[in-house]
Amino acid sequence: MNDNDGIGVFLGLDVGKSAHHGHGLTPAAKKVFDRQLPNTEPRLRDVFTGLKTKFGTVLVIVDQPASIGALPLTVARDVGCQVAYLPGLAMRRIADLYPGEAKTDAKDAAVIADAARTMPHALRSLELTDEITAELTVLVGFDQDLAAEATRTSNRIRGLLTQFHPSLERVLGPRLDHQAVTWLLERHGSPAALRKAGRRRLVEVIRPRAPRMANRLVDDIFEALDEQTVVVPGTGTLDIVIPSLARSLGAVHEQRRATAAQITALLEDHPLSKVLTSLPGVGARTAATLLVTVGDGTSFPTAAHLASYAGLAPTTKSSGTSIHGEHAPRGGNRQLKRAMFLSAFAALHDPASRTYYDRCRARGKTHTQALLRLARQRINVLFAMLRDGTFYEPRTPRPA
């Protein structure tokens, strides 16, 4: 947002779980509202309606548009107020310009309102979220929680196997995402239990779940078992702990598969779905993340603004004659940055992306630096696709 013409009052809200603190300023910086608001529709509606009746157009600004900030934004829209979002990082930097070191809800609300009044370019517009995007927001958040839980449980299993039988961990650890491996560990959680089951039995039970991998996996398991003849004290506890952890991991993987199916079904009804998934490296989960973080891209004037929001715009650290090179900033939307980074890695099979990556490596960049540069370059492509509503068009790459 870059224009505050016609706004009668700027109402900054420092949102909270049970109550929000509101601070209202007129364009002339006169304070007209400064108190707490219960997080209930009737009270929010009364305040918004009263300000709108007295001052005309009301701009409601929050620093958290989702979760605890969702209800006041929805009520404000329903009453007829305009809404906007001041990113948290920008809000904290702006707050440093105000006197005093105290951080209170009242001060934060005042900073939000004054920043909206004096620096409209710092705001981001909040379009009315359609039902599909709203549902995707919840599902994407749930899927990310499940992914974190799967990582935690996998690390716990790998840690135990490394402690008691490192050779076995090297075989099973990298394959814990496979349904057959978690199913196997649910029933045979220790080296002794695996050896007791025998090769033939393990192949028979694994083959229905992993036809192509069964023989190779069992051969690798028994080769690892033969590498260690001693029994580390405490190994017997694996028969209790590993099956329990494997069941938990299997359940999380099943939930993620079900969630992915729901995300895919929702995406099929979104008009931008096919546009996003036409970009190499962007699948259903990544497309959903892009939709809930970027939307249709109209909130960003240029690709550079989008790159800055994603934390992918390189910054140079220099002082005097000392220049430390370009680095990706630590800020930005972490969810969007991760999605762009992982999609860049997944897109290395695409000739154009691979050529750009190889060119960066040839200039002395590390693997991570080259991927970050590729992710930044793909921001330009993504922005153009959203702006024009067009599919990805591969181009013949220039050789590195």
What is the DSSP secondary structure assignment for residue 398, as one 8-state letter?
A: P
CATH number of the domain bearing residue 46: 3.30.420.10
For residues 30 and 82, membership in a common domain is answered with yes
For residue 193, being part of any structural domain is answered with yes
pLDDT at 42: 94
CB 312 within 8 A of CB 377: no
Domain-located, residue 4: no
Residue 263 and residue 25: Cα distance in Å, rounded? Answer: 41
- Number of structural domains (the chain) is 3
pTM over the 0.75 mark: no
Same domain, 233 and 333: no
**For the chain, which residues score pLDDT lower than 70?**
1-3, 66, 89, 101-102, 127-130, 314-330, 395-400
- 337 assigned to some structural domain: yes
Cα end-to-end distance, the chain, whole Å: 41
265 is written with which tokens?
């079904």
Asked if residue 142 is part of any domain, the answer here is yes
Give the separation between CA 70 and CA 134, rounded to whole angstroms.
10
Same domain for 220 and 251, yes or no, is yes
The set of residues, in sequence order, having a beta carbon less than 8 Å from that of 39 and lying 6+ positions away, is 15, 16, 17, 18, 19, 20, 68, 71, 72
Of the residues 128, 162, 192, which one is the last residue of a structural domain?
A: 128
Of 81, 108, 128, which marks where a domain is finished?
128
Indicate if 164 and 257 belong to the same structural domain.
yes
The size of the chain, in residues, is: 400
How far, in Å, CA of 135 to CA of 140, rounded? 9
Angle at 340 between CA 336 and CA 343, to 5 degrees: 135
Residue 3 lies in a domain: no
What is the residue range of 70's domain?
9-128
Q: In terms of domains, do 118 and 33 share one?
A: yes
Looking at the chain, list the stretches that DSSP marks H as alpha helix, in order from N- to C-terminal side: 41-55, 70-79, 88-95, 105-118, 131-164, 166-172, 179-187, 191-197, 199-206, 214-227, 238-267, 273-277, 284-294, 303-310, 334-346, 351-362, 367-388
Q: How far apart are CA 195 and CA 191, in angstroms?
A: 6
C-beta of residue 208 within 8 angstroms of C-beta of residue 160: no
308 in the same domain as 220: no
What are the tens digits of pLDDT across the range 24-72? 999 999 999 999 999 999 999 999 999 999 999 999 999 887 678 888 9
User: Is residue 18 included in any domain, yes or no?
Assistant: yes
CB 228 within 8 Å of CB 162: no
Q: Same domain, yes or no, for 49 and 121?
A: yes
Closest Cα partner for 315 from 326, 330, 300? 326
**Same-domain pairing of 255 and 294:** no
1: in domain: no
- Of the three residues 246, 265, 284, the one that is the final residue of a domain is 265
Residue 296, pLDDT score: 84
Say if residue 139 is in the same domain as residue 110.
no
Q: What is the pLDDT of residue 325?
A: 52
21 contacts 108 by C-beta, under 8 angstroms? yes
Phi and psi at 211, nearest 5°, equal -60, -45
CATH number of the domain that residue 156 is part of: 1.10.287
Categorise residue 234: left if φ over 0, alpha if ψ from -120 to 50, beta otherwise: left
pLDDT for 124: 78
Sign of CA dihedral 257, 259, 260, 264: positive
Q: Quick one: pLDDT at residue 29?
A: 92
Do residues 234 and 340 both lie within one domain? no
Check residue 394 and give its pLDDT. Answer: 77
Based on the domain organization, do 139 and 261 belong to the same domain? yes
d(CA 172, CA 216): 12
If asked whether residues 234 and 254 sit together in one domain, one would say yes
